[in-house]
Copies of this chain bind each other. A is one copy, B any other.
Amino acid sequence: MAISFSLQELISIVAPSKTKGSLNETSITGIAALTEAQPGDLSFLGNLKYTTDVPKSAASVVILPLEYDGEPNANQLYLFVEKPSSVLALICGQIEQRLWQRPAPGIHPTAIIDSTARLGNNLHIGPFCIIEAGAEIGDNSILEAYCHIGRDARIGTDNWFKPRATVTDYCVTGARVKLFIGAVVGGEGFGFETVNGAHQKIPQVGNVVLEDDVEVGANSTIDRARFATTRVGKGTKIDNLVQIGHNCQIGQHCILVSQSGMAGSTILEDYVVLAGQAGLAGHLRIGKGARVGAQCGVLSDIPAGAVVLDSPAVPLQTAKKLMVLKMRLPDLFKRVDTLEKTIETLSQPK
């Protein structure tokens, strides 16, 4: 990867409060963790638990918090700032703009666009994309290769879809929505009625609406509603391989970590977090700001602000207490053995 900053550029981005040491090199060509950095690399102390790695680092430049107290090695430059990880994000933002540039506007000749589709201005539509009849794509949106937009779907402005993203018929996205590779928005809901021993599909005639600033990770799947709408609220971020069942209602600014899943019709209020591999039964309501732990199995409603763990889910404090007691079970069994022996002795006629 062709990261390259002149020392001057770097210092102008970092804007350090003070510096220590000096460097012969005049450019930085990589970023790495403290212990893995080589000469030519930039590194940083983002978490104080790695403080002892600083003096051992071979990085040419190290971004450090103001309170760090130590001297650089020879040919090494320390840059002191208030919040190293924010400064790193700034630098990475610069790199992103250079190395992951927005594709230029234009429609690839292999894209298949129905004549009734309504295309906004300044679009990038990549190779092998398909846009079906009646679909609408908002201004400044990017559809990378192999994206598929269904009939009468409406894509907002400034969307960015990575390769192989799918938005099926009648689904809608707001502004600045990002879909990652292989994301499926509007899969058919999974609902059956069993008639004479065979599972008959219940028609699934709703859609999916993703509000502004939603992101959906690679190979995640969001099913369209049985009727009406499966909705993902403004600013909610969904990681890879997540499943959202039909008719779920997800509030604003939620976070759904990888491999979590929601059965149908469950509601997340705003600012809910589902950690990795968490699973929610259907028809539940998870209150505002609740946090559902990794691998947690949720079978009933959760009040606003609660933190739950375990499967089935219990409040964090209960889960922690039960975990401690569980580890003390072997001891408890021994104590009961002892009690029984003692009682037997006491009960014997003297």
Residues of A within 8 A of B (CB): 1-3, 30-33, 36, 86, 88-89, 92-93, 95-96, 99-100, 110, 112, 127-128, 130, 145-146, 148, 152, 162-164, 166, 168-170, 180-182, 184, 187-188, 190, 192-194, 197-199, 201-207, 213, 215, 217-219, 221, 223, 226-228, 235, 237, 239-241, 243, 245, 253, 255, 257-259, 261, 263, 271, 276-277, 279, 281, 294-295, 297, 299, 311-312, 314, 318, 321-323, 325-330, 332-333, 335-336, 339-340, 342-343, 346-347
Contacts and interface: CB of A to CB of B under 8 A. Distances in A.
Contacts of A201: 215
Contacts of A1: 152, 170, 205-207
A100 B258 contact: no
A181 B150 CA distance: 12
B261 A199 contact: no
A181 B327 CA distance: 43
Residue with the highest number of chain B CB atoms closer than 10 Å, among A169, A207, A258, A271: A258
29 contacts: A1-B205, A1-B207, A31-B228, A88-B227, A89-B203, A92-B202, A110-B110, A112-B127, A128-B130, A145-B148, A146-B148, A164-B164, A182-B184, A194-B253, A218-B221, A218-B223, A219-B221, A239-B243, A245-B258, A263-B276, A277-B279, A277-B297, A295-B297, A312-B323, A335-B336, A335-B340, A336-B336, A342-B343, A343-B343
Contacts of A235: 198-199
B239 A190 contact: yes
A276 B279 contact: yes
Contact of A295 (B203, B223, B311): B311
B96 A205 contact: yes
A301 to B, nearest CB: 13
Contacts of A271: 197
A97 B2 CA distance: 41
Nearest to A186: B181
Contact of A336 (B312, B330, B339): B339
A259 B259 contact: yes
Contacts of A333: 325, 328, 332
Contacts of A223: 218, 240
A120 to B, nearest CB: 21
The 10 closest A-B pairs by CB, nearest first: A92-B203, A31-B227, A187-B218, A96-B203, A221-B240, A95-B205, A218-B221, A243-B258, A190-B239, A295-B297
B190 A237 contact: yes
Given A197-B271, A322-B327, 5 more contacts: A146-B148, A192-B237, A322-B329, A336-B339, A343-B346
Contacts of A182: 166, 182, 184, 219
Nearest to A235: B198
